[in-house]
Amino acid sequence: MYKCPQCFFKFRKQDALFRCASIAQICAHSEDEIYHQFHDDERRLQGRVLGLQASSHNHFFNKTWNTLKDSFSCDACATVTHQRLCPQCHHNLPPVFFDSEMIALGFICQRAQELEAYVAYLKKVLEKTLAYDLQYVLRPELSSTKFDLYLEKSSFKAKKSFLNFNKRPDVLQVRFYPLTLGLSNPSVESFEGIFILCDKMNAAEGRPYVPESIQNLILSTQQDMSSGVVHARNRKISVPVALIYSCFENLTPLIPSSHPLFRQGDHGTGYNQEEGARISSEMLAFTGYWFGSNTLQLIKRYFLRYRLFCQSFSYPESQPFLAHSGWRIEDPFLWVLYCLGKIKGVSKKRG
């Protein structure tokens, strides 16, 4: 099963539709009402949607080679198209969609610029050495938005079989979704992980941003109690939730200089599980200090898998080679990949 990056609808490859690629002068374009129900852009006329009137098995299955077809001929103009569509919302699927696995990460923050900065810094860290250490290759040419990235396995051995003669390397399509504080967000079950960007300034100004974010997240899962996403016995959210403090500069007077937060993350070929657990445990104390014990109670009561992180987009400014790379930006991202089984956990004791 594949998941649409627009509406999160899950479907089989043979159920995906096609869109005619001809220009309007050759094959008349028409309004796609289903498309406009799910999209906000102003495109009115588009190529014809193909494959609606017959079963997907008859149209998209190649009986000669016993495989699914990757192209379709328009019944009006005979033009061959490779453009696939989500059968639910008619979203145009990217070319490598069926050769990749999508990881959808919800990102709760006050401003979309914060998410944009996070993804930009994360890409920089991956470009340097991190992606190589994890045995992945960053593929920036595949990204269609500023909120997504593609990682391709660098040590993949193609498997040959009678039905699969030329399998492409595995690709992870990671897409971040900015979520608002309202209740109109997609269900938690739509995501493989949730990031909550916390900021000490919000608490100082009397705005309980973190508790409100957590409360909205909890309320949005009430309808999912029987879906398996929320732990049935304890009624806890099982989706990994990373609470990220973006205020490392404010912690420097409060923690000893030997603390691992003062060092760059050392994850090797996976996620440094032992160091991450220590930082998360100690950050819980700051959570209670900044936001009150009620926030701690909400976290422990409703989250089955959670971890706290601390990062900075500018620290340490005194070191030019790090000033534009961010500080421990990658930690929550690697933890989620570890929870999903995409990378391994490592134990590296230092200091």
Tell whether the model's pLDDT for residue 57 goes beyond 80: no
CA distances for 227 relative to 215, 222, 223, 236, angstroms: 20, 10, 8, 12
Name the least confident of 152-161, 189-198, 274-283.
Answer: 152-161
- With 0-12 / 13-18 / 19 or more C-beta atoms within 10 angstroms meaning exposed / middle / buried, residue 184 is exposed
Tell whether the model's pLDDT for residue 169 goes beyond 60: no
> What's the confidence (pLDDT) of residue 54?
40
The CATH-assigned architecture of domain 99-346 is 3-Layer(aba) Sandwich (3.40)
Query: What is the arithmetic mean of pLDDT over 326-330?
Result: 82
Put residue 185 in one of left, alpha, beta given phi > 0 → left and psi -120 to 50 → alpha: beta
Residues paired with residue 149 on neighbouring β-strands, in sequence order: 174
264 or 82, which is more confident? 82
Whole-model pTM: value is 0.81
**Predicted confidence (pLDDT) per residue in 66-118, tens digit:** 345 788 999 899 999 999 999 999 999 988 899 889 999 999 877 778 888 88
Name the least confident of 54-58, 112-116, 140-144.
Answer: 54-58
Q: Contact at 8 Å (CB) between 205 and 211? A: no
Domain boundaries of the chain, sorted by first residue: 2-93, 99-346
Tokens of 86: 């989500």
> What's the confidence (pLDDT) of residue 113?
80
